[in-house]
Amino acid sequence: MVEAAVARDPRFELCDLELERGGVSYTVDTLRSLKAAHPEWSLVLIVGTDLVAGMSAWREPDAVAELAELVVMSRDGEAPGSDCRGRVVPVTRVDVSSSRVRKRVRGRRAVRDMVGAHILSIIESEGLYRQPERAKVGVKGQRIQEGRVSSVEGDTGQAE
């Protein structure tokens, strides 16, 4: 789905580095790999205020800060902690989350105003999210389906 989401915008490129590496993935390892492969790149790590608050518990947080510029998206005036070492960028909250999309699809409610048409097409054709949430286990290249979907029509997707 990420591939479909970025395919229509030349500013983005899908990177499956973490999938190729396998196992547990840490941000610091990904940043090191990207920097080694592309030393000319200036890396930027974009996080929300919710994640930056717990960064001190991340694996090698000082190395993360050295490898990439930290940009903290502050939604509707949320303030990161005083120890935030990143550039704070105020943004307008967009109330769309993957869990909300899955819940609406399971409830046979519209999501067309929450996801792009190409993403909706994947959800419908692959029958995603129709069954209750359960553990998703698979290997690279294996598709994990949670049910079948015939159509995601109905209300506009604006109100819960």
Do both 51 and 120 map to the same domain?
A: no
Lay out the sheet containing 87-91: strands in order across.
44-48, 69-75, 87-91
Show the CA angle centred on residue 55, arms to residues 78 and 14, nearest 5°: 90
Predicted TM-score of the model (pTM): 0.65
Do both 101 and 87 map to the same domain?
A: no
Do both 140 and 121 map to the same domain?
A: yes
Do both 83 and 107 map to the same domain?
A: no
Among candidate residues 71, 91, 111, the one where a domain is terminated: 91
- Structure confidence at residue 107 (pLDDT): 92
- Structure confidence at residue 160 (pLDDT): 37
Do both 85 and 129 map to the same domain?
A: no
Q: Kindly state the DSSP code that residue 54 receives in the 8-state scheme.
A: T
Residue 46 sits at φ, ψ, to 5 deg, of: -100, 125
- Structure confidence at residue 132 (pLDDT): 66
Are 76 and 58 a contacting pair, CB within 8 Å? Answer: no
Print burial letters for 136-148: b (CB count within 10 Å at least 16), e (below 16). Answer: eeeeeeeeeebee
Percent of the chain with pLDDT over 90: 35
61-108 residue pLDDT tens: 999 999 999 999 888 777 777 667 788 888 888 878 888 899 999 999
102-158 residue pLDDT tens: 999 999 999 998 998 889 999 999 989 887 655 444 444 444 343 333 333 333 343
Do both 43 and 103 map to the same domain?
A: no
- Structure confidence at residue 118 (pLDDT): 87
Do both 101 and 133 map to the same domain?
A: yes
